[in-house]
Amino acid sequence: MIWGGNSHQGKTELVTVQNSLNAARYCDEIILPIVVPYIQNSNADVFQQDNARCHTAGHTQHVLAENNINTLEWPARSPELSPIEHMWDNLGRMLRYRNDVRDLERALHEE
C-alpha cells in the first residue's frame, strides 16, 4: 500500500506500507513523523482521512488529539468526495501497465 497526502500548499512524501496497517503502525509510521509536522508547518486547520479502521481506532484518535490535529467528519463509503482519490486515480492511469512491484513503487515516487 502507498500512503500520501496533499493540501493547497503541497504534498507529503509518499510512504510505502508493507503488510497490513494497524492503528499503532499508522500512528508510528505516518501520523507522528509525517502528518503532525506537515499540518503544523502548513498551518492547516483540518486533517481529512477516510473511515479505514486504522484511521478511526481509539489509539489513532488519541494521538491526533494529543497533537491538536482536528479531523474532518467523514461519511461512510464516500471516496468520491476525497480530493486525493482523484489523484490516486490519475496515478493509476499513468502506471497501469507496470508489471513489477519495485518498478511500480519507483514510478509512483517519480510521478
CATH at 38 = 3.30.420.10
Angle at 4 between CA 32 and CA 44, to 5 degrees: 60
Mean predicted confidence (pLDDT) in 13-17: 88
Range of the domain at 91: 2-110
What is the spatial distance between Cα 105 and Cα 7, in angstroms, rounded to a whole number? 22
Confidence grade of residue 74 (pLDDT, cut at 50, 70, 90): confident
User: What are the pLDDT digits (tens) for 17-52?
Assistant: 999 999 999 999 999 999 999 988 887 778 888 888
Identify whether the C-beta of residue 35 lies closer than 8 Å to the C-beta of residue 5: yes
User: Tell me, what DSSP letter sits at residue 80?
Assistant: G
> The pTM is what?
0.72
Three-class secondary structure of residue 64 per DSSP: helix
